[in-house]
Structures are given as C-alpha cells and as structure tokens.
Amino acid sequence: MQTDSSSPNQQQQLEDAFQVFNQVSEQLVDSYHQLQTRVAKLNHELTAARSERMRQLAEKEILANRLSKLLDTLPAGVIVIDAEQRLQQINPVAESLMPGIAIGQLWPEVTKFHFSGKPQGEEHRLRSGTLINLTQKALDREAGQIILILDITEKREMQERLDRQQRLTAMGEMAAQLAHQIRTPLSSALLYTANLARQDLSAGQREKFSERCRTRLHHMERQINDMLAFARGGQYEPETIWLTQVLDEMVQTLEPLFKHQNASIILDDQTSGDLAISGNADALLGAFNNLANNTLDHGGEGVCLFVSLQQADDRIELSFYDDGPGIDAEIISQVFDPFFTTRGDGTGLGLAIVQSVVLGHQGHISLFRPATGGAGFRMAFPGLGLESTHTQTQLDTQSMRGVA
C-alpha cells in the first residue's frame, strides 16, 4: 500500500490555518467588544449632549419669553430693523406712539409719515404732537439696528414749567431788590424836587437841590441798567471785536472818574493790537467798566488799576488787578453771586454782570491774588484766527499806556 507523502504537510497547514483562524476570531471578538464599548460610550455622550442641548433650548426659550414680556412691558418703544431697514420687531409702546406701523415696512417710510419738522439732535416731534427721544444702535452679531423711542413730552413740559418758575422767581427777587435799592434815592429825589418849588430859595440853593436831585436820578438809572444787563445775560449779536480798541475806549471813558479820585489806570498791551474775539463790543465795554468801577469803589483815593492784555497759545488773556485792599477771604466765593454786595448803595450785580458777559463770549473769569496786593480778575477768551503754536507775546515796554 502506497503512503501519501503530502499528508503530514497538509495536516500541518490545516493546523496552522486553524490557529490563524482562532487568532483572527479572538481579535474579531476583542474588536467587537471594543466596538460595543465605544458605541455604548458614544450613546452615553450623545444622550448627554442631547440633554444639554434640550436644557439650553429650554433656557433660551425661557429667556426669549422673558425678553418678549420685557419688550411688551417696557415703558419705551422698541423697533428692530434689518440690514435693508425693514421692521422686524415692534413692541406695543412703539405701536401706540406710531399707530399703523407693521413688520415689513421700511423705516425711512415710517419716519416720513409719522415725524414732523426737523429733529433737534436726538429729539423728534411726531405728527401727533408727541416729543420723543430716538436712539439707534447697531446689533452686535447680525446686520440691522435696534431703535429705542422714549416719550419725553411730559418731561419737557415739566422742565419748561420749572424753567418758567425759576425765571419768575428770579424776576421777583430782582424786582424786590430793585424796589429796595431805588426807594431811598427816589425818596431823596422827591424831597429835592419838592424843595425846588419853594419861592424863598436863592439861585445857589436851587442849583444845589437840582444837582442833588439829578445825582439821585442818575444813581437810580445806573441801578436799573444793571438790572437790565443782568437780565439780558449773554444774549448778544456776534461781531468781530478788537480788544485793544475796546480797552482804549474804556480808558478814555474812565479818565475823568479816575482823575477825580486821584486814581490811575496802567494799560499793558503786550500785543500788536490785532487780537480779536467774537461777541458784542458794547457788552464787553460795559463789563470792563464795571471791573474798573469796582476798583474805584473798593480801592479808594489814589488806587492804581493795572490792565494786561496778552496772547497765550490759542487763548487771549486779559487781567484787571489793583493795589487796593483786596478781597476778604471769607467772601471770595460770593463775589460773583447776584445781589451780593458789601456796599450800602450797591445792587450787587456789577461782578455778576461781568461774569455773565464773559461766559456769553465763551470765556472764563477767575480771581487771583496779584503781586500788588489788591484784587485781581483774569479773563480768558477764544481768539479769532489764533493758532495754538503761537507763543506768549513778550512784554513790550513801548506799549505801556497810562492815565494819571
């Protein structure tokens, strides 16, 4: 019987094949277990992600409902427009302010139909007469804008009533002060006038009474003019003012008064006379005269008033200071207050008028203590045509002009 020599080899091959099959089977089982574990993990992660997503959606829904209720109850109109300026969202207040508006309308068409007149900044007047404040702001994460509309009609009316009440109160105080101030000189003028009717007066006595009566009447006129100037405040027609000319006119006007009290004015003009500001020359001249008269009233016999004009960068500085007794420290904070005075016959409006005029010319006034020891007032005005690169003009001794 013949033996097949290939049998042992075939058997070995089969055994090897079975061994490989077993190894592959074991690997497949391991892979299947790993796959099951991975699928279970992914299912768990998916379930967690789904739960988190549902939670976020629920929170967003709650937030959306809350915002919707907020928009409905907000005491202001809210309108959302898209990139094409079409209305996307409107709350009830906006609908009540502008009846008939609807989602999809163009915002420019809405404003054209509901708005009346020209806006004043963010304030607009509706055709219904309502005054609103309108603010627009771009949305953060999407194209479009949100528009906030506030009804300020009642607020403006209350403000106007308050302003009117304050004006009436100020007028009442002014009238009371004026009545108090003119009562004494008026009584004196009436007495002098009554004396003028006496038949036994000599020519000299008649002239004396007449002069005293005229003096009292001039005094009342000055007080009334002060009141009117203070009431007018800073409302002036603008014009180009050359400060050197105004100061020269002030010196010429005050020369007789200063000579009468043996006083003097020294004008130190450190410019070439070409510094100009915008405003009203008469109002400025009156304010400068008030400052000079303040020196005469408080400085007394022989006082010297120094006036300095110079350029400081893009500003014009003007200083009035004297060698008088100065201002007491305890009243420094009150010197610009209306009706505050240390004189028995004063209205207390001189320096208040000065401050009002300076502020009306976009300027600033402050007190300072000069080296002369008296009172000092420094004013700064925005100059016309001045450049900030200019430096302060040096002292020109030839420009010193004085009145002895």
pLDDT band at 219 (very low <50, low <70, confident <90, very high): low
Q: Which two tokens stand for residue 227?
A: 């009141």
Q: How far apart are CA 252 and CA 104, in angstroms?
A: 73
Structural domains present in the chain = 77-151 (3.30.450.20), 167-231 (1.10.287.130), 237-403 (3.30.565.10)
Residue 403's pLDDT band (cuts 50, 70, 90): very low
Mean pLDDT in the chain? Answer: 79
Distance CA 223, CA 180 (A): 11
Stronger pLDDT, 218 or 144, i.e. the higher one: 144
pLDDT digits (tens, 9 = 90+) for 134-159: 998 888 777 788 899 999 988 888 88
Q: Read off the pLDDT of residues 60-111 as tens digits, 9 standing for 90 and up.
A: 777 766 766 666 677 888 888 998 899 988 888 888 899 999 999 999 999 9
259-278 pLDDT, tens per residue? Answer: 888 999 999 988 877 788 88
Give the pTM: 0.46
309-354 pLDDT, tens digit per residue, is 998 877 899 999 999 888 877 777 777 777 666 665 555 677 887 8
Collapse the DSSP code of 181 into the 3-class scheme (helix H, G, I; strand E, B; otherwise coil) and give the result: helix
Q: What is the mean pLDDT of residues 372-389?
A: 77
pLDDT given for residue 389 in this prediction: 33
| Percent of the chain residues past pLDDT 70, beyond the cut | 80
* Model pLDDT, residue 372: 85
Torsion of CA 152, 157, 162, 164, to 10 degrees: 140
Nearest by Cα to 358 from 284, 281, 278: 284
Structure-token match 């002069």, residue found = 211
Angle at 250 (CA atoms; ends 249, 252), nearest 5 degrees = 65
Which three-class secondary structure state does DSSP give residue 320?
Answer: strand
